[in-house]
Chain A
């Protein structure tokens, strides 16, 4: 009772005299008298005489005053904002620093000026091997001619295989010009002014058409359901801001793309709950596991807002089949949550299995579409990560309305849009490009998997993605995360190859590594194999 009153009116004097049975006279006596009045009843508690009631009320009152004192010296947070669960210690540290500084402020500035708790956690040095590996490789990158002893990049899932096709198109159609538009138009007046911040209409149309083609689906993507962002990274963050509040959670099947930990959590304050998949099922998604994770979250008092899947999956390279997608939709409807389907590798398929987009399922079946949202981008399928083009595709008009307004914080550059509109509208080129890329990825996959097999390293049978999921558990000692990270370090330092260890992807089984092979040329494969061999033999 007393505590709730104090929270509502922190500056009000405590209603002490009217509610307490014992006389307030003690407070006017001065220090020693008051102390005795407190201590004696407490002694009574211990001695079991009369003071039992006072002995319990007085500590209660002391506790109440102590809380009140703390609340006054600490700044009260408005009750509408829940405290951030991600870094409470950093926040408290921030508070104590602030209060000491305000006392000394009259003496001039003392100590460094404070940044937010969010900033503090982001500023911390990278501890994920995913990012450490990328950093080290960028400091000493392999070059066949200029730096043959450098680190070979197998940790970044980017596709370099078909860049030559794109380059050729640009030199033939735009004379290598960055601002060239259709009909060789070099005028920039149409693209310099403010454009719709969620993407130009022609760009949305061109991207929608491309998505259908590259995913090999007859389903047409509706341009009015697209929001364009500067890359898939902001696309997923923006969606997160629309679907969940700070402290809410998403269920994510493991192993998952290490970037999600940053993209989905950094600024949104949302949590990711891993749902573990195992090699015994070929890392397939299990609805039972989802159900378990959902219930456990509910017991903890954590509100789950949705499931985040990547399909084709990263890092494993699985394509989710129709039944799994149906089951997922049923599960989401039962729990009344969202589904985010990251389909950024939808065009990078090379196996016999056909990729099925969520859009296709929703077209043919009568599921409620308001809960499904698709993420896409041109970084993987079109090999243009530098140009920053990402897509949010949603069937929910409220989500689209909010995402459209939020796109202003991450818009696609207009000259880039114009260049891509020309390119994507060249249907003959796009068709040829898609076929050639697919073929080249498959060739690399076959060659690379075979090379690993020679070393006794098996990969999962994947059908998509720009990487393979290799089982090096036989090479790690001990059989746990520590052993895995030791092997990763050896591969990086001695072998000079950067691969991504499964622990960075939250894989529950140690020893798995993601090896991206589309940054290499075919002649680099034997070099990679030899280097791995060198590490194994050490």
Chain B
């Protein structure tokens, strides 16, 4: 220890880790800046009708009444009953295998969502406190620090944090654009892989979201088949985040990677892992329920052990086990939820069309992918950001700009429609229509005002006015 010559040494500031001081959590991006604006001035039907309407949060509130009704009518499902041991066992239960009844219920629910086209083994279900934890956990298991996962753009902004922050793993984008309807082309896949190789980065897997966030579109069967062949040939993993699988408007349009594996007799399936959660389909994000379904035994074992850091409350497991085991409830819920989401989607599409805005033809999710590129002053990131700022400031809507989703084409925006009442959505659409109306007349003035022909016309009009006014004066 050094001899203290200076008695008045200032207290040394104790250091933190690199992770603690890094910006990888991304909370300074525009995706989150809009949220701050909303927090400061939130819309309320009666108390603050001119506030910011939150259209950047992918939350499902359209079918919540069904869950509430079930719990009202089935009190025994949400109670510990009169058996003395039931509460005690539940209170002490912290086994990372999870409640068997809950795992069975989850597996069965996932099967029902896929119309029975895929089977799920409850022993392969690993429970985590939310899909956020599930994605991070899988990344820890499949890749080492410095390795990469390929992720198709545009993607959920949270992935930058969830897949990279603590894991030290990189994301290498697979660029998709409107020319292929934002579907993953074999060329884009190869390019991304080669791009990583050229940077001397080891690719450990591909992570897709199906149905896609932010596109609101399911991935086509042929694309999935191609993806499976690709990961097999490179001997890497495939993670399919199917968190919106229950939010597909029509059951027949969703193809899960599980179905394809089943059709292939589970050949090469040990590289495939599915992430699911009840936050979107059941509208219960506060409950923190996520799962990893893996066809790889080692991954299941490891994920289970690692889930010690993110266990689901045993009380929540017990409660949801009863609800998800009730086939009458789940069948009715899945069907009704689909129908209501479809109606909402149609409502917003028509409303946007009336405003002269086109969206990507979607078939799933809690949002639509809106094309505002004609409105950009310049077809650049800056143009998109400035448009986003005016929508936030003038129209008071928080929508998610494509650049926060790493979209390579500027001008696209994700707009959520399921986290509000129909009335609020009407108001939001009206605001957009008015905004577009204002823009169009501004545009007309600018165009016509700058044309020399019309300037000359205006001059003659003015001259004539002066002449007349001169004559009329006594």
Contacts and interface: CB of A to CB of B under 8 A. Distances in A.
Q: Do A and B come from one complex?
A: yes
Interface of A: 10, 75-78, 81, 84, 91, 94, 98, 101-102, 105-106, 108-119, 122-123, 138, 158, 160, 163, 166-167, 170, 175-179, 186-189, 191-195, 230-231, 233-234, 237, 241-246, 248, 262-263, 266-267, 305, 333-334, 336-338, 368, 370-371, 379, 383-388, 396, 398-399, 402, 405-406, 408-416, 419
B141 A413 contact: no
B91 interface: yes
A98 B202 contact: yes
5 contacts: A108-B233, A119-B142, A166-B87, A188-B67, A411-B288
Interface string B305-318: 11011111111101
B16 A109 contact: no
B299 A115 contact: yes
A166 B92 CA distance: 12
Contacts of B91: 163, 166, 383-387
Given A160-B92, A413-B316, 17 more contacts: A81-B145, A105-B233, A108-B233, A113-B270, A115-B298, A158-B92, A176-B81, A193-B283, A193-B286, A195-B286, A231-B308, A233-B308, A241-B20, A245-B19, A336-B12, A336-B14, A388-B129
Interface in B396-433: none
A402 B312 contact: no
Contacts of B64: 189, 192
Q: Which 8 A-B residue pairs are closest in the complex by CB-CB distance?
A: A386-B314, A414-B286, A413-B313, A402-B20, A416-B313, A242-B20, A119-B141, A386-B93
B315 A178 contact: yes
B200 interface: yes
Contacts of A398: 16, 20-21
Contacts of A368: 11, 14
Contacts of A115: 141-142, 296, 298-299, 302
Interface string B284-325: 111111000000101101100110111111111011000000
A345 to B, nearest CB: 17
B268 A109 contact: yes
B132 A188 contact: no
Contacts of A408: 130, 132-133
Given A118-B144, A234-B309, A412-B313, A75 B13 contact: no
A231 B94 contact: yes
B68 interface: yes
Contacts of B12: 333, 336
A176 B87 contact: yes
Interface stretch (B71-79, B329-337, B366-374, B446-454): B71-79
Contacts of B315: 178, 386-387, 413, 415-416, 419
Given A118-B140, A406-B166, A113 B313 contact: no
A402 B23 CA distance: 10
A482 B248 CA distance: 60
B467 interface: no
A183 B268 CA distance: 55
Contact of B27 (A112, A388, A405): A405
A385 B92 contact: yes
A78 B147 CA distance: 9
A386 B81 CA distance: 18
B251 interface: no
B204 interface: yes
A336 B146 CA distance: 30
Contacts of A412: 288, 313
Contacts of B13: 370
Contact of A109 (B94, B233, B289): B233
A266 B72 contact: no
B14 A178 contact: no
B313 A192 contact: no
B440 interface: no
Contacts of B232: 108-109
Contact of A194 (B59, B93, B95, B271): B59
B288 A413 contact: yes
Interface of B: 1, 11-21, 25, 27, 57, 59, 61, 64, 67-68, 71-72, 75, 78-82, 84, 87-88, 90-95, 129-130, 132-133, 136, 140-147, 161-162, 165-166, 168, 200-202, 204, 232-237, 268, 270-271, 283-289, 296, 298-299, 301-302, 305-306, 308-316, 318-319
A163 B268 contact: no
A119 B299 contact: yes
Contacts of B21: 398, 402
Contacts of B313: 230, 386-388, 412-413, 415-416
Contact of B19 (A163, A167, A402): A402
A413 B144 CA distance: 30
A332 B222 CA distance: 60
B16 A113 contact: no
A405 B25 contact: yes
A386 B94 contact: yes
Contact of A76 (B141, B165, B200, B314): B200
A413 B312 contact: yes
A190 to B, nearest CB: 9
A231 B237 CA distance: 31
B19 A241 contact: yes
B88 A167 contact: yes
Contacts of A111: 235
Contacts of B316: 413, 415-416
B239 to A, nearest CB: 12
B16 A243 contact: yes
A123 B140 contact: no
Identify which of A117, A170, A387 gathers the most chain B CB atoms within 10 Å of its CB: A387
Given A193-B59, A233-B308, A176 B92 contact: no
Contacts of A91: 144
Nearest to B166: A241
Contact of B311 (A230, A243, A396): A230
Contacts of B283: 192-193
Given A176-B82, A243-B20, A337-B14, A116 B141 contact: yes
Given A118-B140, A234-B309, A370-B14, A413 B287 contact: yes
B312 A178 contact: no
Residue of B19, B20, B168, B312 with highest tally of chain A CB at under 10 A: B20
A399 B16 contact: yes
Contact of A241 (B17, B78, B288): B17
B80 A267 contact: no
A116 B14 contact: no
A234 B296 CA distance: 25
B145 A84 contact: yes
Nearest to A237: B309
Contacts of A333: 11-12
Contacts of A170: 80, 87
Contacts of B308: 231, 233, 262-263
Contacts of A110: 235
B88 A409 contact: no
A193 B285 contact: yes
Given A84-B145, A175-B79, A233-B308, A192 B284 contact: yes
B142 A81 contact: no
Contacts of B200: 10, 75-76, 78
Given A189-B68, A192-B64, A195-B286, A119 B129 contact: no
A431 B13 CA distance: 40
A415 B92 contact: no
B285 A371 contact: no
A110 to B, nearest CB: 7
A329 B165 CA distance: 31
Contacts of B84: 167
Nearest to B285: A194
A322 to B, nearest CB: 22
B17 A245 contact: yes
Given A116-B140, A410-B310, A179 B78 contact: yes
B427 to A, nearest CB: 20
Contact of B309 (A10, A163, A387, A410): A410
